[in-house]
Amino acid sequence: MTDVGQRPGKDRPGPTTGRRTRTGADTTSGSPASSGPSGSPASPGSSGSSGWVNPSARRRPRPARASSSLAAAHATALRLLRDALAANRAAALRLTWWTLLSAAPALVCGKAVAWAVDEGFLMDRPRTAALGLGVFAVSALGGAWASRQSYPWLAEIVEPLRDRLLRDVVTGVLHRAVAPGAAPGDGAAVAVARLTRQVEAVRDALAGQLMLLWQFVLTVAAVVAGTAVVAPAAAPLVAAPLLVALVLFAVLAPATVRRQREAFDAEERLAGCAVTTVTALRDIVACGAHEHAQREVLDAVGGHLRASRALARVSALRRLIVALGAHSPLLLVVLAAPRLHAGGVTAGEIVGVLAYVLATLEPAIRLLVQGLGASWLRLAVAAERLAEAARRPEPRPEPRSARRPSDGSVTMSGISFAYGDGAEPVLDGLDLTIADGEHLAVVGPSGIGKSTLAEVLTGMLPPDRGQVVLGGASLEHITAQDLARARVLAPQTPYVFAGTLRENLCYFAPGTPPTALADALAELGLDTLAERLGGADAPLDPATLSSGERALVALARAYLSGARLVVLDEATRHLDATLERRVEDAFRRRPGTVVTVAHRMSLARRADRVLLLDGVRASIGTHDGLLAEVPLYADLMGHWRTGATATDEDPADAGHLGAGHLDADAAGAGVSGAGRVGAGLNAPGAASDRSSSRPAEDPVP
């Protein structure tokens, strides 16, 4: 047995809240074999990690200045609008043409009505009056037909933009999740909210902008120009209230943007809290935490309600703009009618101005407030959030003097790692050497840092101090492509994407010959699944697979890769003892090094060497050596043996690392704080009195 000089901490601090989450069995680590959302495989060699934290506990800081926030949101929306038009210029030109034609009634209506009144009704010429009104009716029908013709070209611009937004958001989320040292993301619920509601909000708002923006601008211009032509004296009565309404709209815009952003935040928090609570419902009931969970959900519901009401209040104030910009000109023209008539404006011209205001300007102002303005603000806020979601991390700089690993050997020198500044180190001064072709098992209580060690070992988490050498080459000198080919990590939660079984298994080795694939299926016990599905080229629905079948698919994917280093982070936890032994033997026959984070102590018994993480130091040696010299290891073996069942093929293959027992010790006596050791199993001198190798002088816990 050898002390490798490592003092791991206990827990990983949870992001934002300061609450700790376990780095062992409760933390899901992404990997080349598992990263990515359902239905879209992650790129080879990419990986990530995430710890659970209640989304309701997250609070985004409010912007310091609404004006700067508004400017940034507007800039993002304008850039999105410009990109959408530039992507299909032909469709944009056709949309502009049909929009111009659809605005023709706004220019014609007042003049046609004035002519019908002055030259028709007042002159007792019904045919002339009917002709004037007929011109108005024909222009309205033509405008409606032109509006109908614009929709197909609008779809040519908006729908490709929607697809591009979805692709960019998914790509950005994946790249950030698998970036080295990536922090936990906002969770699946927030990602779904962005991919559904917010993307659709951008699409709908952008369609409204493209469809209505030109109509509003042209309509307002036509009303002002038509009024100036029909009755120049009435133009100030129409233009002045319209200008005041537009200024008021601009003044209320920052508050509206802020309220809209708060509504989006509240919606994301509610979605995250609801999904987290529902998925953890069994644990909540088991722990008697239903009242606490209920309060958290109701707090999120209340926050969403308050944000929605605040947004509704601002929206109600904006409705006053309609009265100011459309109804005020109508009132002013009516009150000024005697003076206008005395100044030479005819009755028909006054009626024509009223027609401009009632039939054209009032709908345009209502469009600005209820449609164009609201959709623009929603577009600005949603586009800003999606741009952040689509942001990709800075790519890993390629080493100047690149080297390729020669084999699967690993050397870790002085490795230290902590989750955040000031946090207790999870790994502290770890020195470890693994020979090429060796099978190393990593054991220890839950939350002790086993998964963290796997992530640092594979280059997913950069150490704070120390160096990791893979196959004679430091990780800093290995390119991302070479690193992806040199090592593979199979995580605790297996990932299977929609496609065929062959595509899932050969993702890291696309050119795998059919004979090699068939041999791998037989080696790992996947031939039965392949027959049930209808062959390797049959479509595979991940939802129809059991947890064990998904684990086998992920393990076979790692098995078929050309990586010389394979790290299994409790990847066989969903398999029974017999199938686990079969998988273990298959990886032993496979060329290369295997590092297994063990959840069954039987894996440690059969490994070449065992690395024990005990909370104060790390010990490494053979199974027999650790059993004789390390009380904690003997204690773990003793508790594992008491959990064996007679139904297993080998009693040594029956036990687990005691999820209930070890979690209870870690939560109670073993873990009293990050980096501290209590009086339970985590204490280096503690050992069970059921262990035959217990030293006589050790106190009974």
Q: What is the CATH number of the domain that holds 322?
A: 1.20.1560.10
Question: Residue 192: its pLDDT value, please?
Answer: 64
236 and 315 fall within a common domain: yes
Residues 628, 630, 635, 636, CA torsion sign: negative
Do 545 and 474 lie in a common domain? yes
pLDDT at 434 over 80: yes
Q: Is residue 397 part of a domain?
A: no
Q: Is residue 52 part of a domain?
A: no
Tell me the backbone φ, ψ of residue 465, rounded to 5 degrees: -145, 155
For residue 140, tell me if it sits in a domain: yes
d(CA 440, CA 418): 24
Residue 312: which of 366, 367, 262 has the closest Cα?
A: 262
Question: Which of 389, 412, 444 is the last residue in one of the domains?
Answer: 389
Q: What's the pTM?
A: 0.56
Please tell me the distance from the alpha carbon of residue 478 to that of residue 486, in angstroms, as a whole number: 10
How many other CB atoms are there within 10 angstroms of residue 525's CB atom? 18
**601: pLDDT confidence band, cut at 50, 70 and 90?**
confident
The better pLDDT of the pair 369, 569 is held by 569
Q: Mean pLDDT lowest for which of 40-49, 97-106, 137-146, 685-694? A: 685-694
Q: What is the mean pLDDT of residues 608-623?
A: 86
Per the model's pLDDT, the better-predicted residue between 281 and 65 turns out to be: 281
pLDDT at 560: 93
Q: Which residue has the higher pLDDT, 258 or 435?
A: 435
Residues 187 and 305 grouped into a single domain: yes
- Torsion (CA) 18, 23, 26, 32 in degrees, nearest 10: 120
Q: What does the angle CA 44 – CA 49 – CA 55 come to, to the nearest 5 degrees?
A: 135
DSSP letter assigned to residue 150: H
Give the lowest-confidence range in 117-131, 362-376, 398-412.
362-376
Q: Is residue 47 part of a domain?
A: no
Could you give the 3-state DSSP secondary structure of residue 10?
coil
Beta strands in 527-617 (DSSP E): 539-540, 565-569, 593-597, 609-613
**Residue where a domain stops, chosen among 364, 389, 414:** 389
pLDDT greater at residue 297 or residue 147: 297
Strand boundaries in 305-455, DSSP class E: 410-417, 427-434, 439-443
Shared domain for 412 and 383, answered yes or no, is no
Residue 461 belongs to domain with CATH number: 3.40.50.300
Residue where a domain terminates, one of 389, 415, 443: 389
CA dist., res. 464 & res. 477, Å (int): 17
Structural tokens at position 540: 């595979």
Confidence band of 306 (pLDDT split at 50, 70, 90): very high
Q: Is the pLDDT of residue 656 over 90?
A: no
Query: Has residue 454 got a pLDDT over 80?
Result: yes
Q: Is residue 644 part of a domain?
A: yes
Together in a domain, 7 and 150: no
Helices 89-102 and 199-230 sit at what angle, rounded to 10 degrees? 40
* Residue 176: per-residue pLDDT: 76
Alpha helices per DSSP H over 179-234: 188-193, 199-230
Of the candidates 559, 569, 618, 574, the residue with the CA atom closest to the CA atom of residue 454: 569
pLDDT-derived band at 555, boundaries 50, 70, 90: very high
Note whether residue 452 is domain-resident.
Answer: yes
Strands of the 465-470 sheet, one edge to the other:
427-434, 410-417, 465-470, 473-474
In the block, tokens 């629905």 appear at 541
Contact at 8 Å (CB) between 492 and 568?
Answer: no
- Region of poorest pLDDT, from 94-103, 252-261, 299-308, 624-633: 252-261
Q: Using the Cα atoms of residue 355, residue 356, residue 362 and residue 364 in order, give the sign of their dihedral.
A: positive
Q: Are 118 and 233 in contact (CB under 8 A)?
A: no
Provide the domain limits for residue 313: 70-389
DSSP 8-state class, residue 414: E
Q: Which amino acid is at 147?
A: S
Read off the DSSP letter of residue 7.
-
> Which of the residue ranges 232-246, 289-303, 333-347, 668-682 would you say has the lowest mean pLDDT?
668-682
Query: How far is the C-alpha of 188 from the C-alpha of 224, rounded, in Å?
Result: 51
Looking at residue 697, what is its pLDDT? Answer: 36
User: Is there a domain that residue 188 lies in?
Assistant: yes
Q: What residues contact 72, with CB distance under 8 A and at least 6 apart?
A: 384
Residue 335 confidence (pLDDT) above 70: yes
**Same domain for 479 and 504?**
yes
* Residue 326: band (very low, low, confident or very high) from pLDDT cuts 50, 70, 90: confident
Close Cβ partners of 50 (under 8 Å, ≥ 6 residues apart): 27, 28, 30, 177, 184, 185
Overall number of domains in the chain: 2
- The verdict on 454 and 484 lying in the same domain is yes
Q: Is 128's pLDDT higher than 50?
A: yes
Give the model confidence (pLDDT) of 477-519 as tens digits.
898 889 989 999 998 888 899 999 999 999 999 889 999 999 9
CA–CA gap between residue 411 and residue 434 (Å, rounded): 6
Per-residue model confidence (pLDDT) at position 640:
54
Look up residue 398 and give its DSSP letter.
P
Using the Cα atoms of residue 544, residue 546, residue 549 and residue 554 in order, give the sign of their dihedral. Answer: positive
Query: pLDDT higher for 379 or 115?
Result: 115
Q: Is the pLDDT of residue 361 over 70?
A: yes
Q: Is the pLDDT of residue 60 over 60?
A: no
Do both 535 and 490 map to the same domain?
yes
**Residues pairing with 48 in the sheet:** none
CA gap 686, 672 in Å, rounded: 16
Q: Quick check: is 59 in a domain?
A: no
261 pLDDT above the threshold of 60: yes
One domain for residues 545 and 646:
yes
Residue type, position 43, single letter: S
pLDDT at position 602, please?
Answer: 83
pLDDT of residue 184: 52
- Lookup result for tokens 């029974």: 576
Closest C-alpha to 429, from 22, 3, 1 = 3
Question: Is beta strand 20-21 parallel, antiparallel or unpaired with respect to 28-29?
Answer: unpaired
Residue 136 makes CB contacts below 8 A (sequence gap 6+) with: 105, 108, 109, 112, 113, 116
Of the candidates 248, 530, 209, 529, the residue with the CA atom closest to the CA atom of residue 377: 209
My answer on whether 330 and 456 are in the same domain is no
- pLDDT given for residue 11 in this prediction: 41
Grade residue 411 by pLDDT with cuts at 50, 70 and 90: very high
* Alpha carbons 61 and 342: distance in angstroms, whole number: 61
- The reported pLDDT for the residue numbered 557 is 94
Give the mean pLDDT of 235-247.
Answer: 88
Whether 528 and 448 map to the same domain: the answer is: yes
Q: Give 333 or 85, the one with higher predicted confidence.
A: 333
Q: Which two tokens stand for residue 363?
A: 């709908």
Judge contact between 173 and 193, C-beta under 8 A: no
Q: What percent of the chain has pLDDT over 70?
A: 76
Do 535 and 632 belong to one domain? yes
Give 169-201 pLDDT, tens digit per residue.
888 877 777 666 555 555 555 666 666 677 877
What is the C-alpha separation between 545 and 495, in angstroms, rounded? 11
Element containing residue 618 per DSSP (H, E): strand 618-621
pLDDT band at 57 (very low <50, low <70, confident <90, very high): very low
Q: Residue 567 forms beta bridges with which residues?
A: 489, 595
| Nearest one of 314, 269, 238, 259 to 69, comparing CA atoms | 259
Candidates 402, 403, 428, 434; CA nearest to 416 is 428
When pLDDT is cut at 50, 70 and 90, the band that residue 63 belongs to is very low
The beta-strand segments (E) located in 448-517 are 465-470, 473-474, 487-490, 499-500
pLDDT, averaged across the chain:
76
3 state DSSP class of 20: strand
Q: What is the three-state SS of 28-61?
A: EECCCCCCCCCCCCCCCCCCCEECCCCHHHCCCC
Rounded CA-CA distance 112/356 in Å is 10
Backbone CA torsion sign across 513, 516, 520, 526: positive
Helix (H) / strand (E) containing 13: strand 12-13
- Paired tokens of 276: 């987290």
In terms of residues, how long is the chain? 701
